[in-house]
A = this chain, B = another copy of it.
Amino acid sequence: MRRKVAQAVASSLWKTPATISERANTYIRTFAAAPYSYTPPGRNHLAVPGPVNIHEQVMRAMDRPSQNHRDPWFPPFFQQILEDTKYIFKTTEGTPFIFPGTGTGGWEVALTNTLSPGDKVVTFRYGQFSHLWIDMMQRLGLDVQVVEVEWGGGADEAKLEQILKADTDKKIKAVAVVHNETTTGVTSDIGQVRQVMDSVSHPALLLVDGVSSIGALDFRFDEWKVDAAVTGSQKALSLPTGLGLVAVSQKALEARKTAQLKRVYYDLEDQLATNPSGNVPYTPSIPLLYGLRETLGLIKAEGMDNVIARHHRLAEGTRKAVEGWGLKLLCKEPRWNSDSLTVIKTPEGVDSGKIVKEAYSRYNLSLGVGLSEVAGKVFRIGHLGNNDEVMVGSYLFGAEMAMISAGVPIEPGSGVSKAIEYWAATSNVIPTRG
């Protein structure tokens, strides 16, 4: 195939390579027929649960020359951004930190700054990301009690209550929960987790992975008395990868003083020594900070509760489409339905990977594959962050075409019609367009 394309291009173009630059162009085009090198017209339709489509206003904000962060413009600029991040965590009491890194780095911040080797942590495994966090805990030398939950399920509050009740000498130092499991489309109930902890008066820290929830779903740092919450720039914040954001409670900051896990790069100490004066311990990413400022501005302009409602509405339309297709969610209970992404089980005998492949190779649509245990069994549609009805509608439109191309027996329009119906019935006029 590849060779044929190259030949076709070459033959049609090699006719009159009169000038050296013309010849160069010909060669370039011929060899450019390497796998995945051709760029089709239209655009890549990005329907994965991260990275997320960047708002054009944010793209613009990031496209700027280097600046010197040691010049005096930087401290007030950075302080304002740091302050504004509190809004997405719904916290006034917590202290926010911004690390050059990823959500994985944020996990390391949350663990190493609060715990010591051998400390006992209770947590749940119900997907690839909770699994990887557990792996990190174990490699750091923590004593991890893993509650195994079948994939598709969320944090089991009854089981947690039982464990905490049994821990009469308070050996458990932390409860760690992945809020939204991006492998399965399951949102656990952090409020309930907190209630369980309170009900048995357990003093453990509450550490939350909010990577695919914070900025998209209802997250209440103060109300839920979360001690460390982690997110990354490339999820609900709809930025490129590169920032790990962590909010930390006063209690966690206290715990830090005795926490013995080794940490340097991800130590809060150096941030605490510099942030109050608007400075940072490492050279910051200027484009990402401008992007973060802009994305927080968009979120504030929309209003966090409106952002949450939008996510719910987009997710609800997507779930209606799935129902229209006659397919099932991987998520086992409606109360755990994720508004960040939808994970769809393919019928027995249909390789979900084929759908994803058809989507990408025919329609330039990027769907999420099934990971690890559910590889080949599910595909994922991300609708967190910078999205609207027509965008998510286009993912559903493309997913229908891809399923048909992959031989999944669905009726054309069976899903999109449900989403159209729901969104048209519940739409609002965009502010200032009344």
Give A residues with C-beta under 8 Å from B: 1-2, 5, 9, 12-13, 19-24, 27-46, 48, 50-57, 59-73, 76-77, 80, 100-105, 108, 136, 139-141, 232, 234, 240-242, 261-262, 264-267, 281-288, 298, 300-303, 307, 310, 360-366, 368-369, 386-391, 393-394, 396-398, 400-401, 404-405, 411-414, 416-418, 420-421, 423-425, 427-434
Question: A306 → chain B, closest Cβ, in Å?
Answer: 9
Distance, CA A53 to CA B20, complexed state (A): 31
Q: Cβ of A365: which chain B residues have Cβ within 8 Å of it?
A: 390
Q: Cβ of A77: which chain B residues have Cβ within 8 Å of it?
A: 36
Complex contact A63–B63 (CB within 8 A): yes
Distance, CA A267 to CA B266, complexed state (A): 14
Question: A144 → chain B, closest Cβ, in Å?
Answer: 13
Complex contact A262–B68 (CB within 8 A): no
The residue among A39, A71, A391 with the most chain B CB atoms within 10 A of its own CB is A71
Q: Cβ of A67: which chain B residues have Cβ within 8 Å of it?
A: 44, 46, 51, 366
Distance, CA A365 to CA B424, complexed state (A): 13
Distance, CA A137 to CA B70, complexed state (A): 25
The residue among A29, A267, A287 with the most chain B CB atoms within 10 A of its own CB is A287
Complex contact A401–B413 (CB within 8 A): no
Candidates B37, B393, B414, B429; contact of A21 at CB < 8 Å = B37
Complex contact B68–A48 (CB within 8 A): yes
Chain B residue nearest to A416 (CB atoms) is B416
Complex contact A68–B43 (CB within 8 A): no
Q: Cβ of A63: which chain B residues have Cβ within 8 Å of it?
A: 59-60, 62-63
Distance, CA A62 to CA B242, complexed state (A): 14
